[in-house]
Amino acid sequence: MADPVAPVSFTSLIETANLQLRRVPAWPAYPLAFGYVGWLVWLGATGGLGVEPVVALQRALGEAALYLLIAGLAVTPLRRHAGLNLLKFRRALGLSCFIFVVAHFLAWAVLDLQSLGRVWADIVKRPYITVGMAGFALLIPLALTSNNWSIRHLGARWRQLHRLTYAAALLGAVHYIMLVKGFQMRPLIFLAVILILLLLRLRPGRLAMRFQRG
Amino acid sequence: MARRWTNRLTENDITPEAAFLNRRQIMAGALGAAGASLMGLPQAAHAEALTPHPWEDITSYNNYYEFGTGKDDPAQNAHQLTTAPWSVTIDGLVERPGQYAFEDILAKMTIEERIYRFRCVEAWSMVVPWNGFELADLLNLAGVTSDAKYVAFETVLRPEEMPGTRTRVLDWPYVEGLRLDEAMHPLTIMATGIYGRDIPNQNGAPLRLVVPWKYGFKSIKSVVRITLTDKEPPTSWNKANAREYGFYSNVNPEVDHRRWSQASERVIGGGLFAKRQPTLMFNGYEDEVASLYKGMDLTRFF
């Protein structure tokens, strides 16, 4: 006879998860991110990304960055609405995302366009590149301040600064929408998920208070 | 109007022996296997020898949105398309409108090998050894009337066999068009094969248009209807985004796509570190086709 199964409530499940997650270190995210970039490059060099690996590599790296932006944006809503605490992983998610964005940019600039002149011409002339570069530029100060020292020294301004993530995520999704041909669902789904995660952060109570005060 | 395509070979065009032997083998193999297809001598479209891309490259990297928007989607999904029986409706301003069975067309056409550059609007390119016949021959079969000025083409639309058409990526069916003089130009062919083999479904089986001096999307695949008209016909990408895709869509390094430069291209199959190549005016067929556009502002009629 099997043991009777104890009823498991959602809350206790989340509590167990939170306890277990405390033992999971965040640092493996960095070797994993670099490893994934290296693996993609190796695939590209050995035919694993098809006969046109440069574009495939850019696409894979760009999507990886979007996935991690989404994961980072999900941390707060998950804590607030489900009680799941992933806060200790957020820096690793953000910095891994940045690793992919830098690799995505390098794949485009070095392997695809192959000249600074072309890179600059595209940044000023091509709106989808301008949008993508703007998103990249916003992530740079965030990556530079993703350390304990910056958090201590910037204080409240650190939180304000890191709200740039919202704009960067939107720019990333719009960049993707702008580069595809015809009506394609995939980039629209990325944008929809990002919009939902941003909407979940709005707290009606606070907004109402602000309006009353305003 | 349409002369037969004539070779303009120079000493530079002498095919290296190894490549030549290789090609004879391919042809012999194809002749032995297919029996029916009669191949002409390799033609040089320009005073330079073109090395065709491997079969694998040509048949695994395709834009055929009816089977999905990914480059490998057509190779994965196109096997679902039934290509026999097949017929092409030729109608509009022709003397003998009707349904032309694919076998009947083949029986009347001379299949030749045409090694052409293929330049996609997305700024990648390859070289394809097509087998096919001149579109002019097919149009003459139906008899073009004197008031015809344009040719409209339509791709087969079968949502049950073409998963990509279940989403409205484009306004299906895919349609394309040419001016009559472009259609009658001896470089313009209907391709039925690659490397002497039947054209694979992902490349537009059983027959597709190939207009080598225009961006690839003009070379409409799996054609089921050809209509002669006196008005410029609608074309799919122009309908989807008129600012980015014009009716002419001639390869032109000086007229950029609104979202990217067309000055250079990435040659397929070069790997991660291949250098971009400069794009040639009319994709290298300037001598043959520039006269068609004499006096036209190509930045306006892009």
pLDDT band per the 50, 70, 90 thresholds, residue B29? very low
Angular region, A179: left φ>0, alpha ψ -120 to 50, beta rest: alpha
ipTM of this predicted structure: 0.82
Alpha-carbon span B263 to B40, nearest angstrom: 34
With cut-offs at 50, 70 and 90, classify the pLDDT of residue B284: very high
Please tell me the distance from the alpha carbon of residue A146 to that of residue B25, in angstroms, as a whole number. Answer: 63
- Please name the amino acid found at residue B35: G
Amino acid, single-letter form, for residue A195: L
Q: Of residues B97 and A7, which shows the higher confidence score?
A: B97
Flag whether pLDDT at B26 surpasses 50: no
DSSP string, A37-57: HHHHHHHHHTTTT-S-HHHHH
pLDDT at A203: 76
Q: How confident is the model at residue B27 (pLDDT cuts 50, 70, 90)?
A: very low
- pLDDT at position B31 is 41
The domain locations on chain A are: 21-201
Task: Give CA separation, A70 vs A81, A173, A196, B24, in Å.
Answer: 16, 10, 10, 56
On the question of pLDDT at B7 being above 70, the answer is no
CA distances from A67 to A18, A59, A193, B165, B268 (A): 22, 12, 10, 27, 28
Nearby residues of A9 by Cβ (< 8 Å), 6 or more positions away: none
pLDDT surpasses 60 at B40: no
Question: Residue range B208-233: average pLDDT?
Answer: 98
| CB atoms B276 and A45 under 8 Å | no
pLDDT band at B49, cuts 50/70/90? confident
Q: What is the chain B residue with the closest CA to A184?
A: B169
B266 and A113 in contact by Cβ < 8 A? no
Among residues A185, A147, A16, the alpha carbon closest in space to that of B65 is found at: A185
Three-class DSSP category at B62: coil
Candidates B255, B259, B276: best to mutate against A (most CBs of A within 10 A) is: B259
Interface test with A, best of B76, B272, B276 (most A CBs within 10 A): B272
Q: Report whether B130 contacts B114 (CB < 8 A).
A: yes
How many interface pairs between A and B have CB atoms less than 8 angstroms apart? 65
* Positions in chain A short of pLDDT 70: 1-7, 204-214
The nearest CA of chain A is from the CA of B265 a distance in Å of: 10
CA dist., res. A192 & res. B226, Å (int): 41
User: What integer pLDDT is reported at residue A10 of this predicted model?
Assistant: 87
Nearest CA in chain B to A47: B271
Crossing angle for the helix pair A90-106 and A29-45, to the nearest 10 degrees: 20
Using alpha carbons, select from B175, B176, B181 the residue that is nearest to residue B149.
B181
- Are B72 and A121 a contacting pair at CB < 8 A? no
Would you state the structure tokens that stand for residue B150, as one six-digit string? 């344009």
Q: Residue B33 has what pLDDT?
A: 38
Average pLDDT taken over every residue of chain B: 89
Q: Name, in order, each residue with C-beta under 8 angstroms of B281's C-beta and a sequence gap of 6 or more.
A: B251, B252, B253, B254, B290
| Domains observed in chain B | 11-293 (3.90.420.10)
Tokens of A131: 């949008």
Cross-strand pairs, B175: B154
To the nearest whole angstrom, how far is the Cα of B170 from the nearest Cα of chain A?
6
Mean pLDDT value of segment B140-149? 98
Summarize the confidence of residues B246-252 as an average pLDDT: 98
Position B282 pLDDT exceeds 70: yes
Would the pLDDT of B43 be above 90? Answer: no
pLDDT in tens, B158-197: 999 999 999 999 999 999 999 999 999 999 999 999 999 9
The closest of B38, B85, B65, B13 to B196, measured between CA atoms, is: B38
φ/ψ region of B39 (left if φ > 0, alpha if ψ in -120 to 50, else beta) reads: beta
